[in-house]
Copies of this chain bind each other. A is one copy, B any other.
Amino acid sequence: MSQPPVFDAGFARQFEELLRWRRDVRRFKRDPVPAELIETLLTQTKLSPSVGHAQPWRWIPVAEPARRAAVQESFSRCNADALASYDGERAALYARLKLEGLREAPVQFAVFSDHGTARGHGLGTTTMPEMLDYSVVAAITQFWLSARVHGLGVGWVSILDPREITRALDVPAQWKLVAYLCVGWPEEDCDRPELVRAGWETGG
């Protein structure tokens, strides 16, 4: 064990800036992202907390055109259904939102929770089995912040049918889809959520 680090007031201020400038990004440049940077970020995710130290996260890169097309089709269907559920002004506003960067983001991941893992020996999941999925969300949250440290944007797309994504990616039956992530260089940096700027929801 090395010496515990001390985080001073300067670091605390910068850390708060990091939280303030992390965005859910939907507008990406098409410039490639160095593979080593993605590797560094994925290695860092192993530092995330997980129930029983089970590390149930499974990061599946989605790069093949056929697989990306399947994801885009699932989004189109689910987004059309979602739009149909709104009326009037709210529907018009929804129709104007850009909710994903599936066509532009150079790096994409489907992130699963492995319900079949033996790691962790079930510790902490008996009364709250959802803890496995929550561990995956914690890792994604840390990945999101780590990416922003390096200027990379992440967008979490949930307007998808998990069954369609799981089928398209041909993963083990015990893996549950937790997130679909778009990763790349953002077109712009901003300290306000896009849904606030677009008038969908208030800030604060």
Q: What distance in Å separates the Cβ of A148 from its nearest Cβ neighbour in chain B? A: 8
**A residues 134-175 in Cβ contact with B at 8 Å:** 134, 137-138, 140-142, 144-146, 148-151, 156, 158-162
9 A-B residue pairs with Cβ-Cβ distance under 8 Å, sorted by A, are A4-B21, A15-B145, A22-B47, A49-B141, A53-B200, A127-B162, A138-B138, A138-B144, A142-B145
Q: How far is the CA of A42 from the CA of B189 in the complex (A)?
A: 24
B12→A150 contact, CB < 8 A: yes
Q: Which residues of B contact A151 (CB under 8 A)?
A: 7
Residue A82 is within 8 A (CB to CB) of chain B in the complex: yes
Which of B47, B125, B137, B141 touches A158 (beta carbons < 8 Å)? B125
A46→B1 contact, CB < 8 A: no
A119→B201 contact, CB < 8 A: yes
B12→A14 contact, CB < 8 A: no
Q: Which residues of B contact A52 (CB under 8 A)?
A: 195, 200-201
A47→B20 contact, CB < 8 A: yes
Q: What distance in Å separates the Cβ of A2 from its nearest Cβ neighbour in chain B? A: 7
